[in-house]
Amino acid sequence: MRNLVAGTSSSSLAGRARARRWNLFLRTFPDLERLKVVDLGGTPQFWSASPIRPRSLTVVNLATSNSPATDWVEVVTGDACKAAELGLQNDYDLVFSNSTIEHVGGHDRCLAFAETVKTLGSRHWIQTPYRYFPIEPHFVFPGLQFLPIALRQHVAARWPLSYTKSMGGNLDDPLDAVLWTELLSRTHMKYYFPASEIVSERFAGLTKSLIAVRR
């Protein structure tokens, strides 16, 4: 599982879209400041953008965090698809995830990720970019998700807007970046979260991302 969310300026198009998402999230969970939250695949830095912070936050990510310890954030290095290995209790008020499930690696791993979500808490917000939005969001390239793997690799290595380049990242292995990114459809999300409401996040009238919500 990878955490592949590119940073953007708050004045950019992507930055404004994320601000709208925060607003939607806070309207959905207006009691956030009273909640104990676990974020699967996130980072403490991501939550620094939130206008309201939760009562406590546990962040689970495969990558080791360099963030300094705080009194309200616990960082767990681990695989969110393997709930039993995380050592976390089923006592979270809200399970949160932003743009992670599409990076976990295949149908069986998505099922395991969804099972972790259901294991850790009864309420959740699980966001993922929509497969059929015309612009692939990680590489900012039209229809990249529908191209053969070899062509996706070619674009990832050369397209100047690819997420790894925007982050100053290393594209020595663009094929690896491509293979770790598999966008999901509404049918996928409904299958993985059958008891959830699947909310559409729209841009220019088109569904840009999907959010599995259980209130």
- pLDDT 10s digits, 97-146: 999 999 999 999 999 999 999 999 999 999 999 999 999 999 999 999 99
What does the block give as tokens for 115? 């099972």
Residues 176 and 77 in one domain: no
Concatenate the DSSP letters of all residues of 137-157 into one string.
TTTTEETGGGS-HHHHHHHHH
Going by C-alpha positions, the residue among 75, 72, 148, 133 that lies closest to residue 99 is: 133
| % of the chain exceeding 90 in pLDDT | 74
Check whether 37 has a pLDDT greater than 80: yes
In a domain, 115, yes or no: yes
CB 46: neighbour CB atoms within 10 A? Answer: 18
Q: How remote is the C-alpha of 23 from its chain's centroid?
A: 17
Quickly tell me which residue has 């039209």 as its tokens. 142
E strand or H helix at 60, and its extent? strand 56-61
- Strand ranges inside 87-181, DSSP E: 94-98, 124-129, 135-136, 141-142
DSSP, collapsed to helix, strand or coil, labels residue 5 as coil
In a domain, 74, yes or no: yes
Residues 113 and 49 in one domain: yes
**Average pLDDT, integer, range 159-184:** 74
In a domain, 190, yes or no: yes
Check whether 4 has a pLDDT greater than 80: no
Going by C-alpha positions, the residue among 215, 170, 173 that lies closest to residue 195 is: 215
Residues 6+ apart with CB under 8 A from 17: 203, 208
In a domain, 80, yes or no: yes
pLDDT in tens, 9-19: 445 666 777 78
State the pLDDT at residue 12.
63
Residues 169 and 190 in one domain: no
User: How would you classify residue 205: left for phi > 0, otherwise alpha for psi between -120 and 50, otherwise beta?
Assistant: left
Between 190 and 172, name the one with better pLDDT.
Answer: 190
In a domain, 112, yes or no: yes
Between 170 and 152, name the one with better pLDDT.
Answer: 152
Between 167 and 118, name the one with better pLDDT.
Answer: 118
Q: What span, in angstroms and rounded, lies between the C-alpha atoms of 158 and 171? A: 9
Confidence of residue 5 (pLDDT cuts 50, 70, 90): very low
- pTM for this entry: 0.89
Quick check: 184 and 102 in contact, CB under 8 A? yes
Confidence of residue 161 (pLDDT cuts 50, 70, 90): confident
pLDDT in tens, 42-51: 999 899 888 8
Confidence of residue 198 (pLDDT cuts 50, 70, 90): very high
Could you give the number of structural domains in the chain? 2
Beta pairing, strands 141-142 & 36-40: unpaired
Residues 187 and 175 in one domain: no
Q: What span, in angstroms and rounded, lies between the C-alpha atoms of 136 and 138? A: 6
Q: Which of 66-70, 84-88, 192-196 has the lowest mean pLDDT?
A: 66-70
State the pLDDT at residue 72.
84
State the pLDDT at residue 170.
47
Question: What is the domain extent for residue 87?
Answer: 13-138+183-214
The mean predicted confidence, pLDDT, of the chain is 88
Concatenate the DSSP letters of all residues of 67-81 into one string.
PPP-SSEEEEES-TT
Q: Is 203 exposed, middle or buried (0-12, 13-18, 19+ CB in 10 A)?
A: middle
Residues 172 and 108 in one domain: no
